[in-house]
Amino acid sequence: MFIIQNEWKGIAVDTDSIPEEFDARLKSLSENAGKKILFCGNNKERLKKIEAMDGPQLTCDQSPFGKAIFYPKVYARLLSMLQTRSCETAVITGSRQALKQAQNHNISNLFFCGGEELPGDLIVDLPDHIAQSWEDIEKAVRGESAGYLAEYCAERYADKKDDWQALRTIRTELKTFGGNTCPLIAAGRYFSQSDPRAYGHQLSKRILLHKWEDTAQTEIFTETYRQIIGSAICEKIDAVTRIPPKDSRQFDRFAAITRAAADDTGAEDLSEQLVCVKKYGSQRTLNRAEREANVKGAFEMKKEVKGKHIVLLDDILTSGATAAEAADELYLRGAEKVTVVVLAIKQNKNNFLDEKLVPIRCRKCGGEMQLRINRTTQEAFFGCRELYNKEAPCTYIEGYKKAMERRNSDAGFANESESKFLF
Ligand SMILES: [Zn+2]
């Protein structure tokens, strides 16, 4: 995934999902020295034309993308054809299915929207890169696309960026229970701890540390919110507040952040006025309807805010129930508009580890080897608990091969010639 991903050395292009009008420009991708590009597609004639161009070399006319069934071997095959490691490989696609498959295999991914905005329901499956134009794709291939603002900030806090506007924020809408609509601005992704993508993801880690009252994160997040608000909100802001802590005696991790945001924008800091008046339980296992019931009446705004544009801060947006309830309370007290700003949107869990592979055992301890990610190299490998992060006893491709070899009953795999895929 971007930023924690190593440099792209191999790129697989899902040609079928890219309109033919872009064919003349495909050449520009392979003009980047040292990168192998594999064009996959089912249209043989089109691939022949691509093959005949100066730049493109590798083509595959039996595209592994867009298969209707879950097809774990696809990615092992791509890596074999490109002869690259999982952490240095990217998929460029305009297909939702191929995007999800790449995410499940922890392979870097770029989603091409072709001039459109990112589809709203993709916010829980955000790609590493979003390309709205061909130039965006070229930038990403050259390694010049820095990605999401909050993720960049969490990763590279030390090197201040001059051009924050170039970093991406996600803009969408949050519907409240009371029938109001709030603009929602998010600046990154949050991966839960059980998602393997969380291992090397600085933003997810820092958000958790911040929740656990690690004040060292406050400085970084103060700057992050400042940059998000500065680059993504053009309208005048009258007041800033945040989702209050459940207990007023609890440490308010947003205190310094809202103060700085208010100072920056010349707005009023309403942190003291928005309080939590109901000890609602954890939202973790609840669905949206249950979350609504759980947070109903949880917040109280102690002051009229008639006609004001209020920026409401939170760190992770999951179902949006908490933010929606707090926004409703602000609207009830007269707010004209509530803009919700979050650091990250919780992503659908990647099922990288959930694949029904046949267990393979560690030669040393006999423990079951699972798909893991090396924290240093970001490379996917198979390892047991003991060897976790120390050495990779089995590479991604070897591990897959072993786990799949014993899975003969699986339709679609048994008949394929292994040698063809360079295993
Ligand atoms: Zn072992």
**What angle (nearest 5°) sits at the alpha carbon of residue 378, between those of residues 375 and 383?**
70
Closest-CA residue to 378 (of 387, 369, 367, 389): 389
Domain assignment of residue 239, yes or no: yes
Report CA(7)–ligand 1 centroid distance (Å): 30
Q: Based on the number of CB atoms within 10 Å of its own CB, is 292 exposed (0-12), middle (13-18) or buried (19 or more)? A: middle
Q: Are 56 and 24 in the same domain? A: yes
> Residue 322 carries which side chain, given as an amino acid letter?
T
Domain assignment of residue 132, yes or no: yes
Domain assignment of residue 57, yes or no: yes
Q: Are 138 and 29 in contact (CB under 8 A)?
A: yes
Q: Are 102 and 171 in the same domain? A: no
Report CA(368)–ligand 1 centroid distance (Å): 8
Domain assignment of residue 157, yes or no: no
Residue with tokens 């394929």: 416
Q: Are 149 and 188 in contact (CB under 8 A)?
A: yes
Q: Are 187 and 124 in the same domain? A: no
Determine the pLDDT at residue 142: 86
Q: Percent of the chain, pLDDT > 70? A: 87
Can you tell me the distance from the alpha carbon of 148 to that of 167, in angstroms, rounded to the nearest whole number?
6
Identify which has the larger pLDDT, 21 or 195.
21
Q: Are 297 and 189 in the same domain? A: yes
Report CA(367)–ligand 1 centroid distance (Å): 5
Q: Are 211 and 247 in the same domain? A: yes
Average pLDDT, the chain: 83
Domain assignment of residue 354, yes or no: no
Q: Are 109 and 138 in the same domain? A: yes
Identify which has the larger pLDDT, 408 or 356.
356
Give pLDDT tens digits for 55-112.
767 888 777 776 544 455 677 778 888 888 877 889 999 998 888 888 877 788 999 9
Q: Are 300 and 277 in contact (CB under 8 A)?
A: yes
Give pLDDT tens digits for 377-405.
767 778 887 765 555 577 777 777 777 66
The average pLDDT across 294-322 equals 95
* Secondary structure class of 89 (helix, strand, coil): strand
Report CA(101)–ligand 1 centroid distance (Å): 28
* Number of domains within the chain: 3
Pick the last residue of a domain from 110, 145, 180. Answer: 145
Q: Are 28 and 133 in the same domain? A: yes
Determine the pLDDT at residue 418: 34
Instruction: Say whether pLDDT at 416 is over 50.
Output: no
Report CA(415)–ligand 1 centroid distance (Å): 32
Tokens of 17: 């999902």
Q: Are 100 and 202 in the same domain? A: no
Report CA(370)–ligand 1 centroid distance (Å): 11
Residue with tokens 């055992």: 361
Q: Residues, the chain, total?
A: 423
Going from the C-alpha of 8 to that of each of 109, 288, 416, the distances in angstroms are 10, 38, 28
Report CA(357)–ligand 1 centroid distance (Å): 18
The sheet with strand 360-361 has its strands ordered as 360-361, 368-373, 380-383, 394-395
Q: Are 370 and 302 in the same domain? A: no
Report CA(279)–ligand 1 centroid distance (Å): 45
Identify which has the larger pLDDT, 210 or 55.
210
Domain assignment of residue 400, yes or no: yes
pTM, entire model: 0.83
Q: Are 340 and 364 in the same domain? A: no
Q: Are 75 and 205 in the same domain? A: no
Report CA(383)–ligand 1 centroid distance (Å): 7
Report CA(356)–ligand 1 centroid distance (Å): 20
Domain that holds residue 400: 360-421
Pick the last residue of a domain from 295, 319, 346. Answer: 346
Report CA(371)–ligand 1 centroid distance (Å): 13
Report CA(352)–ligand 1 centroid distance (Å): 20
Q: Which residues contact 243 (CB under 8 A, 6 or more apart)?
A: 254, 312, 313, 314, 322, 323, 326
Determine the pLDDT at residue 357: 66
Report CA(388)–ligand 1 centroid distance (Å): 9
Domain assignment of residue 351, yes or no: no
Element holding 274 (H helix, E strand): strand 274-276
Report CA(393)–ligand 1 centroid distance (Å): 8
Report CA(387)–ligand 1 centroid distance (Å): 6
Domain assignment of residue 158, yes or no: no
Best mean pLDDT range from 51-60, 236-245, 400-409: 236-245
Report CA(372)–ligand 1 centroid distance (Å): 13
Instruction: Say whether pLDDT at 52 is over 90.
Output: no
DSSP 146-180: --BHHHHHHH-SSS--S-GGGSB-EEEEEE-TTS-
Q: Are 189 and 308 in the same domain? A: yes
pLDDT bracket for residue 42 (50, 70, 90) = confident
Report CA(331)–ligand 1 centroid distance (Å): 57
Instruction: Say whether pLDDT at 408 is over 80.
Output: no
